[in-house]
Amino acid sequence: MPDALAETFALSPLEAAQDALRKVWGYPAFRGMQADIVEHVVAGGDALVLMPTGGGKSLCYQIPALVRPGVGIVVSPLIALMRDQVDALRQLGVRAAYLNSTLDWREAQEVERACERGDLDLLYVAPERLVTPRFLELLDRSRIALFALDEAHCVSQWGHDFRPEYLQLSILHEKFPDVPRVALTATADAQTRTDIAARLGLTDARLFLASFDRPNITYRILPKDQERRQLLDFLRRRPEDAGVVYCLSRGKVDAIAQYLAEQGVDALPYHAGLDPATRQANQDRFIKGEGVVMVATVAFGMGIDKPNVRFVVHMDPPRSLEAYYQETGRAGRDGLPAEALMLYGFADVVQMQMMVESSDSPPAFKRTERQKLEALLGFCETARCRRQTLLTYFDEEYPKPCGKCDTCFQPVETYDGTVVAQKALSAVYRTGQRFGVGHLVDVLRGVATDKVTEKGHDKLKTFGCGTELGKQEWHSVFRQLVANGLLCADPEGHGGLILTETATAVLKSQEVVRLRRDPAAEAKGKGKASWSGGSSSSKPKTSTADLSPADDTLWHALKALRLELAREQGVPPYVIFHDATLMEMVREKPTDLDELGTLQGVGSRKLERYGEYFLDVILTHS
């Protein structure tokens, strides 16, 4: 155990944990339910922890590993995550290491010896390695403080990142019944939580369920309308910010990254089709650089511990609300303001429906996937506060509109759309339930294209009956009818729409349909920035928006020093200090090391190692 923590053995377990929090991490007190979790695990109890990204999950096992005798074994799914967390822990003076394929046999052997000698506080390992006979024998020869199972949703078939190797982790309880286990995840609905507990043998573990709310994230969802231009407008208002842009396919990742680079954006691609060296180099640049935009498939992100990601953009809808929550949660881990923007179109809706319906999955699984898709579409088309809708999905009540999402910035008007819905449904029925939305909109608006006349659809009763709405407005209507379960994609067709059973009641005027007016379409006509979804086209508030010119100069000077120190050591800048800690320095302007040491995120080891450097910059600019 590091010298700074040696005295904690003379304290009670909770006092020792609080002492470690203050001296090692530089935080004055635990947040939320952290103290309860830490006390429970230190006492030897098993725990299932659901806490949002950025909520401090890592401390819930890192601190107990320091307080309890022995080494904490952390099961982590990705190499990048292990490396980043170990780099950060070593900066704090914690004896941490990892065992993975990046080590040669000599390095791996030395880590194993350190574990056996009791010279490690935390050891990170992949699930595949943990269940090997060699590693299990190492555990038999070592004193184990606890097992932490990170990203625990990977064990559930209902989760969005199912990994079969996680199923083997139940062996820990069988071989080491007296060692506490803590399973942690940021995203799991009730079904997934039950599955995690059952598969890991944690049915008797205490459940710690924190709020899913990420109050620092602003949520925006817009229909696609020249999506590249929408993305570029969004990014140009954030020239210094790092962020992630998610695309559904590798080809789209490459195309968007190239487009952004041609427009002067520091953008890089990331997907499994790139050669490993390029993929690793791009990831390193994103992690260790400032203001880099990573364009990626969803394979990127779960192993990234970068706290100052200021935005996440979805160019295509994710697979479910769980996936959306997990992926958007990678923004603003440091607690400073962050943004989540999703662009989606009708073609995305149809494609997702067809993927579900045409899959070979068992009926129960397909039914669950259908429900998840319906929830996602409902979230996209809701007229309610986005945050309220999202949290309701996770069985959490949010008492009032949040004031920090697009539907709060610009409240959505709803109207009785029964007649409009009947026209759309009639067009689907009278054209034979074989055509996509583009053709149906042409029929409704009376546009006699070659395809319309060739099929004789210009002779239909519905031809030209919908001239009161524009093209984009009709697209919005069809998206909402799908989201409301009145239409669905034909699994046997090629993007065509068919009526569902519930559509009959609407056609017979037995059910009323309320639709939302698309504010983005109206704003476009008035010259407003369609990317914002808000009441103003001004630059969104960021963590530096209210800084005076002098403080802004200090902020950039501190960031430059941090980047220089990080490059010297070959580590990401955020392992030196988080942006939130630099902002504390700007606000408080400490005049000596004692004052600097009182700031959040400045532990004793970092104060000793970096204090003079940062204090010199602060005094120079004061």
- Does 355 fall in a domain? no
Is there a contact between 521 and 412 (Cβ–Cβ < 8 Å)?
Answer: no
Both 431 and 403 in a single domain?
no
Residue 183 CA to residue 156 CA, distance in Å, equals 12
Structure tokens at 306: 């970068």
How many angstroms separate the CA atoms of 247 and 613, rounded? 41
Structure tokens that stand for 111 in this block: 């880590």
423 and 405, same structural domain?
Answer: no
Burial class (CB in 10 A: 0-12, 13-18, 19+), 418: middle
Q: State pLDDT tens for residues 452-474.
A: 999 999 999 999 999 999 988 99
pLDDT of residue 537: 34
**What's the token pair of residue 450?**
């070659």
Q: Using alpha carbons, select from 208, 81, 210, 77 the residue that is nearest to residue 155.
A: 77
DSSP state of 459: G
Q: Give the pairing type, strands 338-344 and 309-314.
A: parallel
Reported pTM: 0.81
375 inside domain: no
- 363 is a domain residue: no
Tokens of 344: 């989606």
Could you tell me which of 427, 576, 577, 401 has the C-alpha nearest to residue 498?
427
pLDDT value at residue 202: 85
Q: How far apart are CA 231 and CA 314, in angstroms?
A: 10
338 found inside a domain: yes
357, containing H or E segment: helix 346-357
Q: Are residues 253 and 139 part of one domain?
A: no
Residue 240: inside a domain, yes or no? Answer: yes
Beta-bridge mates of residue 405: 219
Whether 497 maps to a domain, the answer reads yes
Q: Are residues 172 and 253 in the same domain?
A: no
- The pLDDT, as a whole number, for residue 161 is 55
- State whether 400 and 438 are in the same domain: no
Residue-range definition of the domain harbouring residue 317: 217-344+382-409
Residue 593: which of 602, 582, 581, 583 has the closest Cα? Answer: 602
**Where do runs of H (alpha helix) occur along 358-502?**
363-381, 386-393, 406-409, 418-430, 437-445, 450-454, 471-483
Is the same domain home to 174 and 267?
no
For residues 444 and 506, membership in a common domain is answered with yes
Tens-digit pLDDT profile for residues 235-277: 999 988 999 999 988 999 999 999 999 999 999 999 989 998 9
81 alpha-carbon distance from chain centroid: 14
Residues 392 and 443 reside in one and the same domain: no
Specify if 357 maps to a domain.
Answer: no
Residue ranges in the chain whose pLDDT is less than 50: 1-9, 521-542
List the CATH number of the domain containing 338.
3.40.50.300
What's the domain count of the chain? 4
| Together in a domain, 267 and 237 | yes
**Do 436 and 395 belong to one domain?**
no
Parallel/antiparallel/unpaired status of strands 487-489 and 497-499: antiparallel
Q: Are 255 and 174 found together in one domain? A: no
Same domain, 518 and 581: no
Q: What is the 3-state secondary structure (H, E, C) of 186-247?
A: CCCCHHHHHHHHHHCCCCCCEEEECCCCCCCEEEEEEECCCHHHHHHHHHHCCCCCEEEEEC
**Is residue 533 one of the residues assigned to a domain?**
no
Nearest residue to 356 via CA among 344, 341, 371: 371
